[in-house]
A and B are shown apart, each in its own frame.
Chain A
Amino acid sequence: MLLAARLAAGDERALEEVYDALAGVAYRSALQVLGRSEIAQDVVQDVFVELWCHPERYDATLGSLSTFLAVCARHRAVDLVRSDLRRAAREERRERLIPSQRGPSPSDLVTEAETACAVRDAVQQLPDGQREAVELAYFRGLTYRDVARITGVPEGTAKSRLRLALQHLEELLDRQLLEAP
């Protein structure tokens, strides 16, 4: 309670005291989730900077400062893992969509077929205008000007439909990849 009040008063010695007493708790909590020391150290830094900038977020009536820091470190670590998973999924999808320089292996061909199937399924879930724009631009290889002309909309509208469609597809495919066993 007193330490929290000192932190709120801008007492950097209190921060040093909290670090010396509880950095280990935060570090172990993060390491348990992440398994890598360097990233767990980043988490400890984030958690302490957050505590220093917003000491009011710690409510002493809800538990000890030790527990608070451990929970903050764990949440932050889990956020990092989730973010890594999403990034990895995006990279994997991008790799699948970009044609390989070497000849495809049988396994690549199966994967490509699965990806193509997943993409077509996702396209079917798009709103009509966006689906039509994607089919013309990506499956028939037309420019957005051609898409605008054929669908009878201004070029700006064709562009924004394609942009929105790609955002939707990214979300849909992310979800599929993350939910895949």
Chain B
Amino acid sequence: MTVLTQLRERVLVASLAARERGRPTPEAASISASEALSLAAASFERLLAGLSDEDWGLPALRDLDVQGLVGHLIGVERDVQRALAGDEAVADIDHIASTQDAARAQSGRPAALTREEWRGAVEDTLHAVHGGDERVISLHGMRLSVDALLVVRAFELWAHENDIRLAVGAAPSSPEPSVLALMTRLAVQLLPHAVSRTGTGAATDLHLVLTGAGGGTYDLRLGPPRGEADDLLLVVDAVDFCRLVANRVAPAELDVHLHGRGADGVLAAAASLALD
């Protein structure tokens, strides 16, 4: 055994004692889920404030123009508030169908009114939650804790902010690192369920490395051991990973470094989360 082979274990143990594995450096500031939603909403609002009248009429997503998309978000906030109030009617309704009326209602309105109504809807959501709220909320086919629901809201605002940016020709934005950290943690937490649901033959064990601010390293068990080496290493930028999870980039277009088998199944499952 060479000197360096003997030294290897000592160096690794000393390193991991000095800095815990999995934790990114620099570490993003720790914030609450409602703060994440507030920050995402503030970023969205800054974008809306800079739009011209013509921008509001540009096609943005599906059959919606920018104003209609903001209307969709108003509808989502109203559904969230109903769910928080215990209305079971919104538990399994479709996320898009249920907000179509709110989206269409924006047609012909002054953009400032749409913007004001959306901002008010976000404030109403934030007022409807409080710290330490441990309820499980049923909405749009999801069962989530209140905190997870708020992070999903931040996820959706960021995804649609970038839909609008794309529509008006503005550069894409990245979430604040503290918001991104919550978004990536939630997406990682949901990934094993997505793999299980899609049954896409993903790897058994995933070593997922999300690089950049708001990233981190995760080891996930995605299925029962199959008695063979099917450990997968996946390295991807944290923001790109969120684009995948928001279904805004196809797995094939993702700049990803991988080693092992089963990557296609994992990436397809991540995209199926469609947190937008």
Chain A interface residues (CB < 8 Å from chain B): 2, 5-6, 8-16, 19-20, 23-24, 27, 37, 41, 44-45, 48-49, 52-56
- State the CA gap A56–B217 with chains docked (Å): 17
Assuming A54-B25, A56-B26, is B235 touching A6 (CB within 8 A)?
A: yes
- State the CA gap A5–B215 with chains docked (Å): 10
B272 nearest CB across to chain A (Å): 24
A46 nearest CB across to chain B (Å): 9
A48 nearest CB across to chain B (Å): 5
- State the CA gap A174–B14 with chains docked (Å): 34
- State the CA gap A15–B7 with chains docked (Å): 14
Whether, in the assembled complex, B20 has its beta carbon less than 8 Å from a beta carbon of chain A, the answer is yes
Q: Are A53 and B4 in contact (CB under 8 A)?
A: no
Q: Are A9 and B15 in contact (CB under 8 A)?
A: no
Closest to A41 in B: B7
Choose among A2, A15, A27 the residue that contacts B235 (Cβ–Cβ < 8 A).
Answer: A2
Q: Are A44 and B11 in contact (CB under 8 A)?
A: yes
Interface residues on B, range: 20 to 34
- State the CA gap A75–B140 with chains docked (Å): 59
12 A-B residue pairs with CB within 8 Å: A5-B235, A8-B24, A9-B210, A9-B215, A12-B21, A13-B233, A15-B12, A19-B11, A19-B12, A23-B11, A52-B16, A53-B19
- State the CA gap A10–B24 with chains docked (Å): 5
Whether, in the assembled complex, B120 has its beta carbon less than 8 Å from a beta carbon of chain A, the answer is no
Closest to B19 in A: A53
Closest to B257 in A: A2
Choose among A5, A6, A37, A48 the residue that contacts B11 (Cβ–Cβ < 8 A).
Answer: A48
Q: Are B18 and A53 in contact (CB under 8 A)?
A: yes
Whether, in the assembled complex, B143 has its beta carbon less than 8 Å from a beta carbon of chain A, the answer is no
A159 nearest CB across to chain B (Å): 40
Residues in A with CB closer than 8 Å to B233 are 13
Assuming A2-B257, A27-B3, A41-B3, is B11 touching A10 (CB within 8 A)?
A: no
Whether, in the assembled complex, B207 has its beta carbon less than 8 Å from a beta carbon of chain A, the answer is yes
B 210-227 to A, binary, CB cutoff 8 A, 1 in contact else 0: 111001110000000000
Choose among B11, B16, B19, B207 the residue that contacts A45 (Cβ–Cβ < 8 A).
Answer: B11
- State the CA gap A88–B207 with chains docked (Å): 49
Closest to B211 in A: A5
A23 nearest CB across to chain B (Å): 5
Q: Are B14 and A45 in contact (CB under 8 A)?
A: yes
List 4 other contacts, CB 8 Å, given A11-B207, A15-B12. A11-B209, A23-B4, A49-B11, A53-B15
A56 nearest CB across to chain B (Å): 7
Closest to A47 in B: B11
Whether, in the assembled complex, B130 has its beta carbon less than 8 Å from a beta carbon of chain A, the answer is no
Whether, in the assembled complex, B109 has its beta carbon less than 8 Å from a beta carbon of chain A, the answer is no
Choose among B15, B207, B215 the residue that contacts A48 (Cβ–Cβ < 8 A).
Answer: B15
- State the CA gap A128–B8 with chains docked (Å): 56
- State the CA gap A56–B26 with chains docked (Å): 8
Q: Are B25 and A10 in contact (CB under 8 A)?
A: yes
Closest to B237 in A: A5
Q: Are B20 and A10 in contact (CB under 8 A)?
A: yes
Choose among B15, B23, B24 the residue that contacts A15 (Cβ–Cβ < 8 A).
Answer: B15
Residues in B with CB closer than 8 Å to A2 are 211, 235, 257
Residues in B with CB closer than 8 Å to A20 are 8
Choose among B3, B23, B209 the residue that contacts A37 (Cβ–Cβ < 8 A).
Answer: B3
Contacting A at CB under 8 A, from B1-52, are 3-4, 7-8, 10-12, 14-16, 18-26
Residues in A with CB closer than 8 Å to B26 are 56
Choose among B4, B10, B217 the residue that contacts A11 (Cβ–Cβ < 8 A).
Answer: B217
Q: Are A55 and B3 in contact (CB under 8 A)?
A: no
Q: Are A12 and B25 in contact (CB under 8 A)?
A: no
- State the CA gap A45–B11 with chains docked (Å): 5
